[in-house]
Amino acid sequence: MGKSGIQVEVVIEIPCGSFLKRGSTGKLDFISPLPCPFNYGSIPAYIGLDGDLLDAVVLGPRLQLGSKTSVYVWGAIGLYDRGLYDDKLICSQFPITLKQQRLLLLFFRFYAKAKCLLNLFRGRRGRHGCAGWGSAEVALSKATPRKAMDWHGPTIPF
């Protein structure tokens, strides 16, 4: 897996180890029974296919809530949530190892199953699942640059 050369700025919404799941607007979505195993946030420059800011996982040391970091994108993991496709860009200062890639895929497969159960409980239907590993370039090409779109928050509720 070579360096993509794509550098992005990520705003951290969920610091590594946090139990609080916040959305791109800062609103608390839910309290997780398990801590987040990595820093999770969004890339304010892009809107994902789900109508929300493009999601990003940032590997490395714990970052503070609301902090901004400039990192490289090494790939993406595709997820289906309530029938909507959503890429999660995988970011780090250093290349992603094969072991990290496998662990990320394992986590997001589990996450998709948990989201399915949560959405069934909430009465929200649609396909759920992990579509697997993909390229950063393809994920970014599917997103809409924010300057090309007037964005005021996600169009569907969490």
Cα distance between residue 2 and residue 25, in whole Å: 33
Tokens of 48: 């994902």
Residue 42 bridge partners (DSSP) = 11, 55
Q: pLDDT band for position 158 (50/70/90)?
A: low
User: Quick one: pLDDT at residue 41?
Assistant: 95
Give, for 39, the enclosing helix (H) or strand (E).
strand 39-47
Q: pLDDT band for position 17 (50/70/90)?
A: very high
pTM score, two decimals?
0.86
* Of 31-35, 60-64, 121-125, minimum mean pLDDT range: 121-125
Residue percentage of the chain with pLDDT more than 90: 59
Mean pLDDT of 39-68: 94
The neighbour count for residue 110, using CB atoms within 10 Å, is 12
Cα distance between residue 72 and residue 58, in whole Å: 9
User: Quick one: pLDDT at residue 105?
Assistant: 95
Mean pLDDT of 43-69: 94
User: Quick one: pLDDT at residue 147?
Assistant: 80
Q: What is the β-pairing status of strands 84-92 and 53-58?
A: parallel
Cα distance between residue 15 and residue 41, in whole Å: 8
User: Quick one: pLDDT at residue 1?
Assistant: 44
**Closest to 73 in 3D by CA, of 9, 141, 144, 156:** 9
Mean pLDDT of 3-20: 88
Q: Which domains does the chain have, with CATH numbers?
A: 7-141 (3.90.80.10)
Per-residue model confidence as pLDDT tens digits over 72-91: 999 999 999 877 899 999 99
Burial class (CB in 10 A: 0-12, 13-18, 19+), 117: exposed
